[in-house]
Structure 1
């Protein structure tokens, strides 16, 4: 297996990092940004929303796949800051425009922390798994 991260030029990493940022923000816009309506249960009167469980699950799955793919292609030290910043920026753009109270800032901090933890975990697991596969694929030296 060829280590695709070795030998990358800074310009190539910059382009890949920018692409990762765009795709990460696109996850927010595609899955959740368009839904601003709340649902009221007629039987109980309880309100939920604005997002449905399937939207959140779809967004998370896309982010996990994107994180794994990115960690395979570029170093984890680049993936971990890019994804949380891009996703939080996209989320904040939507939230700031819809919130007159200023509480969206608290939500942005929570989104950012959640993205850092999630991206760090997925990227770390991916990097460790890749290293294990690389070690297993190398021929064992007998010392002779």
Structure 2
């Protein structure tokens, strides 16, 4: 793989990944309280998170087909976790945003590695 392709692919992947965060999670649906149980949920709606995960999965699959899996995992994890953490830190007074950021980073790393790795493996197997 050429250096130019790696750099361009990594840059495009970072932009697309940050764009996925912006499209689905940069705005919040708000907190909701169940009137019967008093349980609070939010700030994202389930469909927002599901859409973000599906978008990231598609990006990881395409990127894993064309790029090195370690590049995919690192770029996607950083490009998704950093904007999430910056936004969360700016709206959280408790400091728990750091725990959330760690969980987002861990989940993104595992997900992108598995999906991107599977796509790369499939490409090598069929090509």
> Partner of 2:39 in structure 1?
46
> Partner of 1:120 in structure 2?
113
Q: CA RMSD in A?
A: 1.4
Selected match of 1:32 from 15, 21, 25: 25
> Partner of 2:73 in structure 1?
80
Aligned length: 127
> Partner of 1:95 in structure 2?
88
Selected match of 1:67 from 60, 64, 73: 60
Runs in 1 of length 4+ with deviation above 6 angstroms? Answer: none
Larger Rg over CA atoms: 1
Residue 36 of structure 1: how far off its partner (Å): 5.3
Residue 41 of structure 1: how far off its partner (Å): 1.7
Q: Hey, which of these two has a bigger chunk of helix by percent?
A: 2
1:3-14 superposed matches below 5 A: 8-14=1-7
Contact 2:73 2:112 in 1 (8 A): yes
- Rounded to whole Å, the distance in 1 between the matches of 2:74 and 2:103 is 15
Normalising to structure 2: TM-score of the pair? 0.91
Unaligned 5+ segments in structure 1 are 1-7, 135-144
